[in-house]
Chain A
Amino acid sequence: MSASVGFCSRWFISTCDRWLVAVDSKQDREPFVFDCSTAEKKPKNPSTDGDEGGAEETRSDRILAFAVSPCGNLVALTDDSKRLILFRCEASSWRCISVRFVVRRCTSLAFSQAEDQLLAADKSGDVYSFSVLNPDQDGELKMGHLSMVLAVTLSLDDRFIITSDRDEKIRVSCLRSPYNIQSFCLGHKQFISALLVPPGHSQRLVSGSGDGTLRLWEFESGRHLQSVDLRDLMDPEKTDNDNEKEKRCGVRGHRCGVRGHCVDHLYSVFTGVLSVLRVSLVQFFSLDQDQLSPHSRLTPPHQPLDVTFDPEGRLWVLMDSDHSPLQIYTHRCGSWQCDTDSPDLTRVSAAFRIHWDKLDASVRTASRFDHLYVVNYDNVSEYMKKKQQRLDQQSQKRNLDQKRRPDAKKMKTPTANS
């Protein structure tokens, strides 16, 4: 996973490679830094690890996903060494509550609204529930897909768990009884990498996919409401060649911003690959009942890697830059404007840069999408060609036979039992 950002109450969170860095955006204090390589390793269990083979499995401590709880005082992360680590932020200090282990590497995490459980989706397609109230309790298998699950989220009332996979499927299941599938949201033509139930729109689901579209659903029934092709939003100058437009596009993530008491905007970071260039854009959408409408677009000074909204509804953008990796945008007078002089930005940037500078530029931008595209293998054409040849030969032979012996009996008529 490339660098990611989020907010936990007033703490700015970022993960990159094996580090989690949390910076207090409102007060000058020492950031909380966690290095996954310092955490305990998964204990070797001879009975279950036997099938992993004799050789030591190569693993890093790279963070694969993280999640912030709805109330903003818990953070969970999962890494390449199969750890699942839970942190609590209280008063102004951070505490690691538990280090647990998952069966397979995870791709996505989500807290329930009630904050009683943490859902972890893994690469084999299984979804486990980990108790938050009993932070040392092992995970419980809840449900599974037949292919890698890429995103997991919950409905706002915790009634449903929504999961999406590499095989174009979004599945809506009852959280209490996940074996009971409520519906499928079918329409995407490639893997689905991002899911969001927007606050204030409890019946709606927004999904983003490798097919380059954002789709809006009424998830309980599976009804498809709208599809927005992100490639249509790309600058015409950059896509003068239709071939280039066809290139793959993936959606990096959805975030929802809240200003005051009403939900304002969704954003979508859209990553497109055009020939050898990597184009990223930060696109805002507004959402009313049944319609996602493109709103405004940001053109950050450097390549955006990830974005997040803070509790005040400002948008923070992390960019691929050594000197100024962070930027804040505030919605003022009907548009999103850059807030370069914000004291919060200055404070966070100063503390953040110390850690950002230590990282190799290559770990910031690992692409998560390329390997997710399914390449199908055609095993039909060859057979059909041979069959046609056989039929042609048989037909020729029959014609020859008929010419030689026009009085010969015709073939038996077929019956059901032959």
Chain B
Amino acid sequence: MTSFMPQKRYYRQRAHSNPMAHHEFNYPVCPEEMDWSELYPDFFTGSSSKNGTSQVEFADIGCGYGGLLVELSTLFPDKLILGMEIRVKVSDYVQDRIKSLRESEPGSYQNIACIRSNAMKYLPNFFSKGQLSKIVGYGLVYTNTDVEEVHLWMVKHFTEHPLFTRVTDQELDGDVIVSRLGTCTEEGKKVQRNGGKNFLAVFRRIEDPNFGQEN
């Protein structure tokens, strides 16, 4: 069965969805019980030459229409990347898009997938401790927005959090993700068209400075 590329106009949904509402989501009881083979069939079947014990290492929280996922797929072909999107229509679009891309280019785009979920509530259900930390020693969190207040809010909270430290612009020189963050997503392109500014901030997870300091 050939899938045609989904047309965005059938999948439009407003930007905000209440993460505190009790919508029905599918999520595993715990990370050990998650069946990733449905999302990454090539990586989790016996017939594949790829390592069956692969793990998702990158997560795009609020992946929208999947622009970043598609871009990262070819940049990191051996990494499993998961997009999480709370909106019904939008996550459905990404799933349809990935399905269609996989069919049109066999062997490609097998390492990306999207699930409809509430990352705020269910991140610990999907990912075990340290799973997303394999990128550069400890994990990196990339934040990007065109709204300055949101940027300042995120910077404030990550900076105040003892387990994160800001990665300087110097250290980010040459980072492949940074250069694409502002341009490959729907939102990013819209900001470019409107002549808006992109605010980027990257943070690295560090060791607990207070650990072991009991009494």
Contacts and interface: CB of A to CB of B under 8 A. Distances in A.
A177 B210 contact: yes
Interface string A344-355: 000000000000
B4 interface: yes
A387 B116 CA distance: 16
Contacts of A383: 88-89, 92
Contact of A379 (B10, B88, B211): B88
Interface residues of B, number: 34
Interface string A380-403: 100100010010000000000000
Interface in B112-146: 116, 120-121, 124-125, 129
B22 A375 contact: yes
Contact of A413 (B22, B89, B104, B121): B104
A87 interface: no
A167 B23 contact: no
Interface stretch (A180-188, A240-248, A277-285, A357-365): A180-188
B22 A414 contact: no
Interface in A401-418: 411, 413-416, 418
Interface residues of A, number: 34
B120 A146 contact: yes
Interface of A: 146-147, 159, 167, 169, 174, 176-177, 179-181, 183-184, 186-187, 189, 222, 224, 374-380, 383, 387, 390, 411, 413-416, 418
Interface of B: 4-5, 10, 20-24, 29-31, 70, 74, 88-89, 92, 100-101, 104-105, 116, 120-121, 124-125, 129, 161-163, 208, 210-211, 213-214
Given A186-B31, A416-B70, 14 more contacts: A176-B210, A176-B213, A177-B162, A187-B30, A375-B22, A376-B24, A377-B23, A379-B88, A380-B88, A380-B116, A383-B89, A414-B100, A416-B74, A416-B101
19 contacts: A146-B120, A176-B211, A179-B162, A180-B208, A180-B210, A180-B211, A183-B129, A184-B30, A186-B30, A186-B124, A224-B30, A376-B22, A376-B23, A377-B22, A377-B23, A387-B10, A411-B4, A414-B101, A416-B70
